[in-house]
Amino acid sequence: MSENAWFSADYRQARGRFLDAAADVGARVETHENPVPGPNGGPLATDVAFLGDPQAEAALLTFSGTHGAEGFCGSGVQVGWLESGLWREVPDGIAQIHVHGVNPFGFAHLSRTTEENVDLNRNFVDFAAGVPVNEGYESIHPILCPEVWDDEAETRLAQGVAKYTEEHGFWAFREAATSGQHTHRNGIFFGGTTPSWSRLTVARLLATHCSTRKRLAVIDYHTGLGPRGYGERIVDHLPDTAGYQRCMEWYDSDCASPHLGTSASAKLTGQMLDAIEHGLPQVEVTAIALEYGTQPENQVISALCADNWLRFHGDMSSSKGRDIKAQVREAFYQDALDWKQAVFERALDTQRRAIRGLQG
């Protein structure tokens, strides 16, 4: 194992390693170029590596970088899976689709959101039917998104969150702040008002490569919630469904459900995995998010708020801007061997279980 060679220092390196690894194993690669330039004018793209029989009835589908800067984790897993030869464990009859940098703007610019400041994992709502209403966010927005970010900003933020939590409870804060909102485009956890470029890219991918399959195992890699290095398997299938039952069987009940209050995550609206399940009604979809802890939650929230301030009020090229980007990177990626090993070990166990599950 050589985790340090699989987990990259920036988007450019991650993309290069993924494309190299895909080429080395003879994967077919599809590239979806994002129209917005990356840092220093470099290209931004979502790259997809395909292995196995394109017509296979079953497929393993992995995503990295749904939340931009969280992409270091999933990218490292995808590169390691290919480079180490572990991908060969997948038997004939199961295709593999590895989607790298599904939100390439956020990955490259060290932000959780897309070029539209959209939280991609809150953007998969039926806009024609009307967006979900999150009344709680209104009073939280001024706490999380101040116009001034100075040396006292984190203290004011912590005090504001503590006051809200005292009055309404911890879970009320978490739901209101993080479940998704569609009213403040300059706010955090903004689900957007139209489908983002990344969502449209995912929709094209699903229509072209997944809609005629019989069984699909989906693993969406995330970071920033829970204990450092621990990977929580979050199941969003409703608890009384066959999808939920399959997750419990495949993953030996080692899963958490926001619907049952057993997850570090709140119940979210506009999630990608829900949209995959409901958008492919003829496919048996078994989906989890694998969510790894990094730093204590107050530090992660601070980094998110600082980054949001930077995007709308700050100067990216200032030393303060660079400090905030370093803070975001730490909040969503731990450049430490013990963390990378823990991430990879859990991912490997999870992908092996998914493959066994697909075999029935």
Half-sphere exposure of 317 (CA within 13 A, CB side): 2
Residue with tokens 């993924």: 18
Express the helix, strand and coil content of the chain in percent, nearest 5 each. 45, 15, 35
- 233 lies in the site for Zn ion, by CB under 5 A: no
Q: Which is nearer to Zn ion, 83 or 116 (CB)?
A: 116
Q: How far is the CB of 220 from Zn ion (least distance, A)?
A: 8
Q: Which is nearer to Zn ion, 56 or 78 (CB)?
A: 78
CA distance 206 to 315: 38
Contacts with Zn ion in 149-168 (CB under 5 A)?
A: none
Radius of gyration of the chain (CA): 19
Q: How far is the CB of 4 from Zn ion (least distance, A)?
A: 23
Contacts with Zn ion in 68-107 (CB under 5 A)?
A: 70
Stretch that binds Zn ion, among 159-167, 220-228, 303-311, 321-329 (CB under 5 A): 220-228
- 67 lies in the site for Zn ion, by CB under 5 A: yes
Contacts with Zn ion in 179-208 (CB under 5 A)?
A: none
Q: Which is nearer to Zn ion, 289 or 324 (CB)?
A: 289
Q: How far is the CB of 223 from Zn ion (least distance, A)?
A: 7
Stretch that binds Zn ion, among 2-10, 177-185, 190-198, 221-229 (CB under 5 A): 221-229
Q: How far is the CB of 222 from Zn ion (least distance, A)?
A: 3
Q: How far is the CB of 61 from Zn ion (least distance, A)?
A: 17
Task: Sketch the per residue contact string, 26 through 65, with Zn ion: x for CB under 5 A, - otherwise.
Answer: ----------------------------------------
- For 171-183, b/e burial (b = at least 16 CB within 10 A) is eebbbbbbbbbbe
Q: How far is the CB of 54 from Zn ion (least distance, A)?
A: 29
Task: Tell me the DSSP string of 233-271.
Answer: EE--S-TTSHHHHHHHHHTTT--B-TTTT-SSSPP-SS-
DSSP β-bridge partners for residue 222: 291
Give how many residues touch Zn ion by CB under 5 A: 3
Strand 215-228 vs strand 58-63: parallel, antiparallel, or unpaired? parallel
Closest to 3 (Cα-Cα) out of 229, 331, 330: 229
Stretch that binds Zn ion, among 67-75, 274-282, 292-300, 350-358 (CB under 5 A): 67-75
Q: Which is nearer to Zn ion, 51 or 108 (CB)?
A: 108
Q: Which is nearer to Zn ion, 232 or 284 (CB)?
A: 232
Burial class (CB in 10 A: 0-12, 13-18, 19+), 101: buried
Which residue type is seen at 191? G
Residue 293, helix vs strand vs coil = strand
First to last CA, the chain: 29
- 353 lies in the site for Zn ion, by CB under 5 A: no
Q: Which is nearer to Zn ion, 209 or 222 (CB)?
A: 222
Q: Which is nearer to Zn ion, 19 or 69 (CB)?
A: 69
Q: Which is nearer to Zn ion, 51 or 73 (CB)?
A: 73
Q: Which is nearer to Zn ion, 98 or 213 (CB)?
A: 98
Q: Which is nearer to Zn ion, 34 or 178 (CB)?
A: 178
Burial class (CB in 10 A: 0-12, 13-18, 19+), 285: buried
Whether 254 contacts 183, CB under 8 Å: no
The residue from 15, 32, 141, 222 that contacts Zn ion (CB under 5 A) is 222
Q: How far is the CA of 345 from the CAs of 5, 18, 80, 331, in angstroms? A: 15, 19, 11, 21
CA distance 53 to 311: 43
Contacts with Zn ion in 272-311 (CB under 5 A)?
A: none
Q: How far is the CB of 332 from Zn ion (least distance, A)?
A: 8
Binding site for Zn ion (CB under 5 A): 67, 70, 222
